[in-house]
Amino acid sequence: MAAISMTVTGGWRGGFIIPLFFTGACVGKAVAALIPGLNPTLAMICTMAAINAAVTRTPISTTLLLSKLTNFTPLTPILFASLIGFFLAPKAPFIASQLKSGQEAVISHE
């Protein structure tokens, strides 16, 4: 999370996608360590997908990107995790550029 804060506020062109993937991999590895019998690789990839889709609001592209980056061929678990992250995320986007025009005033007054 500190890496995301530094890259976004620092204006780094890499943005927040790679730090989101890193955070998801770390959380997935921790969950796999706590739950015996859970495949660590699958837990890491699915957590990466869920966190990224929740923040960027892009479940399909997250699924395709992670399947290619990780060479993990079964798309179903990645897609399922991406959709869960997408639907459980708050409706107000985390990224300011995703706001529609006129929506800024509504969110700032809530």
pLDDT score recorded for residue 105: 44
Between residues 5 and 57, the one the model is more confident about? 57
pLDDT score recorded for residue 107: 47
For the segment 80-95, what is each residue's pLDDT rounded down to a tens digit?
999 999 999 887 666 6
For the segment 3-53, what is each residue's pLDDT rounded down to a tens digit?
667 766 776 666 678 888 988 999 999 999 999 999 999 999 999 999 999
Give the global pTM. 0.76
Q: How many domains does the chain have?
A: 1
Domain ranges, residue 13 = 2-109
The number of CA neighbours under 13 Å toward the Cβ of 58 is 12
